[in-house]
């Protein structure tokens, strides 16, 4: 831009020659310059106002258009900020080790109402109550005739229910697509599967989230769209699980028990082939959490994992195995079993008087508290604690279900010499049956530590060595003697060489103050076949009472053992184990002359 001078020399000279005032030229030029600046500023302001008006016009057009779209769609109270496709991401199936379905998805519909579109609200309420007896007619009429624009009626419908609602002919009753979780086997493996519920949801979509069991623990894996086509394969065997649950339920009823738990585990890999807790529930219709009473009274309580108990004499194999490993004893070492054993003001007694001494093997076979306590004293508190920790008894069990975090063992506040003795025969330390199964697997499989798992993995490698193969073989022989000549004689299953140890522990009172005299936890921890263990089976009964004789019997030999024997009898063929003649030691073979 060329700037015009206020006092141009040519005009000034010309004005002087004509006798005019040169200052008038300067004032005129200043006026013109100011008018030009004013016009330019006005044009700039008008341009900015025009741009701003355009911006407001576009913004209000977008808002108005969005309002028009919303006004033309179906109303929905539960809103979500994500696209429906994300909610519809399918949850992966869960299958057993053979690929059989344990949990899958099922397409169904939800039912909702738009009261403003209803023609006859009272008639609709009457018909809905006929179809869904749990609905409140008065509440429905109040909602249908009020000011609400949207109302959920049912989140899930069966095809028959949907057709019945459709036949009402009410335009204000509408259906939305819904995907629900289906457990086709009902109660089977309920505590493992856990269950799901709806998370974020809208009229046309709902998100399935795990609320318990493996559904919750593996929720991220099951909801991952990249893995939705690949089922989660568990270590459970559906056929074995069904057989064990059936026998365990019958045994619980026959033995008049309050509850029961059963665990069948691969002795080498730690894979849980079957696990049950009774009473149980149907994950298709999961009950609500209890608001009062003891958690163990709820069918949701997993006794196999969440239940931590003093498991009695089943613990006796651990101090004996440790003493063998340390070289303190051998199977024939004689142990002082004079009863009662006095320790300060405390007395330790045996169930029967077994005489002044027993061999280490007989201490296990006869289940001597005194003998086990004396062995534990030789080991010492520090070494005992270290050994039990190496078996996993000091921390929650590592298992792929949400409830495993609640399996924290109850340890003595002061691990004294008295605690060392009582823990050696299963009192003063509370663990879950799953802890016990893993411990027995470690002792029986050659001495490799076992970590329980519910996920099938054929490539799983053995754990660290805890005891030697020699110690493991000696313990297997002792456990076999418990069945052939000891407290678990009812556990014999011909052809499967069962070995195991019984345990009967008095139940502690809920509010402290000692133990009940007539309430026990009876347990049988077993291995089979004992000469070459493939599986570990733990059966625990809560407050059993066997009443077939003239007096009530509560010990594990009369309650848990026969139930475990029947389970082995049923499931061993399903596991592919053929009955076989038990091998005998070579020393028993002699040559005959011709």
- Lowest-confidence segment of 137-146, 185-194, 230-239 by average pLDDT: 137-146
The first and second tokens of residue 285, run together, are 């219709």
**Architecture of the domain spanning 240-575:** 3-Layer(aba) Sandwich (3.40)
pLDDT digits (tens, 9 = 90+) for 495-527: 999 999 999 999 888 777 788 888 999 999 999
Where is 516: in which H helix or E strand?
Answer: strand 515-528
pLDDT classification of 2: cutoffs 50, 70, 90: low
Burial of 499 (0-12, 13-18, 19+ CB in 10 A): buried
Mean pLDDT to the nearest integer, 172-186: 90
pLDDT at residue 52, rounded to an integer: 87
Distance CA 12, CA 16 (A): 6
> 286 forms bridges with which residues in the sheet?
none
pLDDT digits (tens, 9 = 90+) for 298-308: 999 999 999 99
Higher pLDDT, 82 or 175: 175
The first and second tokens of residue 176, run together, are 């939305």
pLDDT at 343 exceeding the cut of 90: no
pLDDT at residue 84, rounded to an integer: 43
Backbone angles phi, psi at 147, to 5 degrees: -100, 0
pLDDT classification of 584: cutoffs 50, 70, 90: confident
pLDDT digits (tens, 9 = 90+) for 55-65: 888 888 898 88
pLDDT at residue 83, rounded to an integer: 42
The percentage of the chain sitting over the pLDDT mark of 70, rounded to a whole number, equals 92
pLDDT at 482 exceeding the cut of 90: yes
pLDDT at residue 34, rounded to an integer: 79
- Cβ(235)–Cβ(97) below 8 Å: yes
pLDDT at 586 exceeding the cut of 60: no
Higher pLDDT, 424 or 508: 424
Domain boundaries, the chain: 94-118+149-233, 240-575
Question: Is the pTM here over 0.85, yes or no?
Answer: no
- Cβ(233)–Cβ(456) below 8 Å: yes
The percentage of the chain sitting over the pLDDT mark of 90, rounded to a whole number, equals 64
What string of DSSP letters covers 386-398? HHHHHTTTTS---
pLDDT digits (tens, 9 = 90+) for 553-566: 899 999 999 999 99
Higher pLDDT, 349 or 467: 467
- Cβ(36)–Cβ(13) below 8 Å: no
Mean pLDDT to the nearest integer, 323-331: 96
Question: 94-118+149-233 — its CATH code?
Answer: 3.90.1310.10
The three-state DSSP-derived secondary structure of 142-197 is: HHHCCCCCCEEEEEEECHHHHHHHHCCCCCCEEEEEEEEEECCCCCCCHHHHCEEE
pLDDT at residue 76, rounded to an integer: 55
pLDDT digits (tens, 9 = 90+) for 17-57: 777 777 777 677 777 777 888 888 888 888 888 888 888 88
Q: Is the dihedral of CA 454, 459, 460, 465 positive or negative?
A: positive
Cβ count within 10 A of residue 132: 16
Mean pLDDT to the nearest integer, 308-328: 96
The first and second tokens of residue 374, run together, are 């004396």
The three-state DSSP-derived secondary structure of 262-283 is: EEEEECCCCEEEEEEEECCCCH
Average pLDDT, the chain: 89
pLDDT at 77 exceeding the cut of 60: no
pLDDT at residue 488, rounded to an integer: 94
pLDDT at residue 355, rounded to an integer: 87
Higher pLDDT, 335 or 516: 335
- Cβ(444)–Cβ(479) below 8 Å: yes
pLDDT at residue 80, rounded to an integer: 44
pLDDT at residue 585, rounded to an integer: 65
């Amino acid at each position: 831009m060329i700037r015009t001078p206020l006092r141009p020399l040519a005009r000034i000279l010309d004005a002087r020659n004509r006798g005019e005032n040169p200052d008038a030229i300067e004032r005129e030029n200043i006026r013109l310059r100011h008018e030009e600046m004013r016009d330019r500023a006005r044009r700039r302001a008008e341009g900015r106002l025009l741009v701003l008006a355009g911006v407001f016009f576009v913004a209000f057009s977008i808002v108005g258009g969005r309002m028009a779209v919303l006004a033309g769609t179906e109303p929905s109270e539960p809103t979500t900020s994500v696209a429906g496709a994300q909610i519809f991401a399918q949850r992966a199936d869960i299958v057993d080790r053979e690929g059989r379905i344990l949990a899958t998805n099922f397409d169904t519909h939800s039912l909702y109402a738009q009261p403003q579109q209803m023609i006859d609200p009272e008639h609709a309420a009457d018909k809905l109550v006929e179809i869904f007896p749990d609905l409140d007619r008065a509440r429905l009429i109040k909602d249908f005739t009020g000011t609400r624009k949207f109302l959920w009626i049912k989140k899930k419908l069966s095809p028959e229910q949907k057709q019945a609602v459709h036949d009402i002919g009410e335009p204000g009753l509408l259906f939305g697509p819904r995907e629900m979780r289906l457990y086709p086997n009902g109660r089977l493996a309920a505590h493992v599967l856990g269950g799901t519920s709806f998370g974020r949801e809208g009229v046309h979509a709902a998100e399935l989230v795990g609320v318990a069991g493996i559904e919750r623990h593996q929720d991220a894996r099951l909801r991952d769209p990249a893995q939705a086509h690949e089922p989660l394969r568990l270590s459970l065997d559906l056929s074995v699980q069904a057989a064990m649950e059936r026998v365990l339920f019958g045994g619980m009823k026959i033995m008049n028990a309050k509850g029961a738990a059963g665990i069948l585990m691969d002795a080498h890999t730690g894979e849980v082939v079957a696990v049950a807790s009774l009473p149980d529930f149907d994950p298709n219709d999961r009950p609500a959490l209890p608001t009062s009473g003891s958690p163990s009274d709820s069918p949701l309580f997993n006794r196999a994992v969440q239940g931590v108990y003093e498991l009695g004499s089943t613990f006796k194999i651990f101090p004996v195995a440790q003493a063998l490993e340390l070289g303190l004893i051998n199977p024939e070492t004689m142990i002082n079993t004079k009863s009662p054993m006095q320790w300060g003001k405390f007395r330790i007694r045996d169930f029967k008087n077994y005489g002044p001494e027993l061999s280490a093997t007989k201490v296990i076979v006869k289940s001597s508290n005194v003998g086990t306590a004396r062995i534990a004293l030789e080991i010492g508190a520090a070494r005992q604690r270290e050994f039990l920790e190496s078996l996993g008894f000091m921390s929650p069990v590592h298992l792929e279900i949400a409830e495993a975090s609640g399996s924290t063992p109850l340890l003595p506040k002061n691990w004294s010499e008295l605690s060392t003795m009582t823990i050696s025969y299963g009192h003063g330390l509370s663990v879950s049956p799953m802890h016990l199964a893993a411990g027995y697997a470690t002792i029986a499989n050659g001495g490799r530590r076992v970590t329980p798992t519910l996920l099938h993995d054929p490539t799983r490698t053995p754990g660290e060595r805890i005891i030697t193969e020699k110690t493991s073989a000696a313990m297997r022989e002792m456990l076999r003697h418990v069945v052939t000549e000891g407290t678990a004689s009812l556990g014999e299953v011909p052809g499967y060489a069962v070995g195991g140890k019984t345990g009967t522990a008095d139940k502690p009172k809920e509010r402290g103050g000692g133990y009940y005299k007539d309430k026990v936890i009876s347990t049988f921890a077993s291995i089979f076949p004992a000469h070459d263990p493939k599986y570990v089976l733990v059966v625990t009964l809560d407050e059993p009472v066997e009443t077939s004789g003239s007096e009530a019997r509560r010990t594990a030999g009369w309650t848990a053992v026969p139930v475990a024997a029947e389970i082995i009898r049923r499931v061993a063929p399903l596991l592919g184990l053929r009955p076989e003649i038990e091998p005998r030691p070579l020393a028993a073979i002699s040559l005959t002359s011709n």
